[in-house]
Amino acid sequence: MISPAGPSAQSPFATAPQDTVIETRNLAKVYRDFWGREKVRALKPLDLNIRKGEIFGLLGPNGSGKTTTIKLLLGLLFPTSGEAFVLGEKASDVTKNERIGYLPEETYLYRFLNAEETLDFYGKLFNIPTQVRRERAKELIVQVGLEKARKRQLKEYSKGMTRRVGLAQALINDPELVVLDEPTTGLDPLGCREMKDLILDLKRRGKTVLMCSHLLADVQDVCDRIAILHQGELKELGRVDELLKLADATEIRTSHLSDEAKAEVRAVLERHGARIDRIDHPTTTLEELFLNIVRDAEVRPGRRACGDQ
């Protein structure tokens, strides 16, 4: 049964902005051992507010509490203290998960099903009518680039292919909120770029995305806001563009600037007492370089590099 969209009548978001999708208040988790003794303080009291339509990144080194936070939000774990609300419902209410797409850290899919059967199986769990289910599965398989492998059993899939079918499975219920735990794990740079484009596409379609990762470049490319956790503690929270801005440096980019013009620019800057750190050609990223080479190799398969370095 699908719950009505938006916060329920006695909205727990009474104090939060209207477009809040996830809110945590002092949310904390302590893992205990068999005798109830404190083993790990995985999440220290956390206050977060994630808004509709944004891509929010949860960042942190291994063991910093990212997966724990996600599991608390999905109601797969109970908090030790504090509370969380997702899509207007308590995080512990798992019926709200019907409106959420979840890609776990490790995908647990049936190895003997192929991609089509997998999506059909999950579509049935959500009671999606047969025709809609088939069409959605077909679209998703194309979207995640598994068209050629759609009839192969998942046991034959590479890590990256498994990740892709995991994402398709997370989207089968056309969720309002998509939660991705390390979405680019196991993907090659091309796969990473495609995954990032898919995530940006979800945002364009009005979805809210919460993703966690320790791959900083991935997060930088797609996230609007991030939170950085360290040993379960929130260390930073804010807009990516603002966090990365170097407020006391200025960059001017032009193309085809002659040596004469450069000298003039330099003279003007010096007249204004500016210290010039660098006037140089900007470099591309290794990701861009790699993607250009791979794409070129697909268009011109016979060509080889004859580098002498």
Ligand X SMILES: Nc1ncnc2c1ncn2[C@@H]1O[C@H](COP(=O)(O)OP(=O)(O)OP(=O)(O)O)[C@@H](O)[C@H]1O
- Footprint on this chain of Mg ion (rule: CB under 5 A): 66-67, 105
- Per CB under 6 A, the segment of 37-45, 85-93, 114-122, 136-144 that binds ligand X is 37-45
Considering the rule CB under 6 A, would residue 87 count as an interface residue with ligand X? no
Comparing CA positions, the residue from 211, 176, 208, 177 lying closest to residue 196 is 211
Question: Which partner in ligand X, Mg ion, none is near 64 (CB below 5 to 8 A by kind)?
Answer: ligand X
Of the two residues 40 and 265, which places its CB atom closer to ligand X in the complex?
40
- 269 with 262: CB under 8 angstroms? no
Rg (CA), the chain: 23
**75: CB partners within 8 A, 6+ apart:** 90, 91, 92, 93, 94, 96, 97
Answer for which of 39, 111, 155, 235 binds ligand X (CB under 6 A) is 39
End-to-end alpha-carbon separation of the chain, Å?
63
Q: Which of Mg ion, ligand X, none does residue 65 bind to, with CB < 5 to 8 Å depending on kind?
A: ligand X
Q: Which of residues 115-134 bind ligand X (CB under 6 A)?
A: none
Residue 128 contact partner, candidates ligand X, Mg ion, none, CB within 5 to 8 A by sort of partner: none
* 44 binding ligand X? (CB under 6 A): no
Residue 153 phi/psi, 5-degree rounding, is -65, 145
CA 225 to chain centre: 11
Q: Which of 42, 48, 187, 228 binds ligand X (CB under 6 A)?
A: 42
Using CB under 6 A as the binding rule, whether residue 101 contacts ligand X is answered as no
Q: Which partner from the list ligand X, Mg ion, none does 193 bind, CB cut-off 5 to 8 Å by kind?
A: none
Question: Which of 85, 78, 80, 77 minimizes the C-alpha distance to 47?
Answer: 85
Of 98, 96, 125, give the one whose Cα is nearest residue 110.
125
Q: State which residue, 67 or 107, has the beta carbon closest to ligand X.
A: 67
Residue, CB closest to Mg ion: 67
Residues in region 211-270 near ligand X by CB under 6 A: 214
Nearest distance, CB of residue 78 and Mg ion, angstroms: 18
Counting beta carbons within 10 angstroms of the beta carbon of residue 9, is it exposed (0 to 12), middle (13 to 18) or buried (19 or more)?
A: exposed
The residue count for binding ligand X (CB under 6 A) is 14
207 binds, among ligand X, Mg ion, none (CB under 5 to 8 A by kind): none
Q: Which residue has the tokens 């993907």?
A: 187
Euclidean distance between CA atoms 41 and 26, whole angstroms = 14
CB nearer to Mg ion: give 66 or 150: 66
Binding site for ligand X (CB under 6 A): 31, 39-40, 42, 60, 62-68, 105, 214
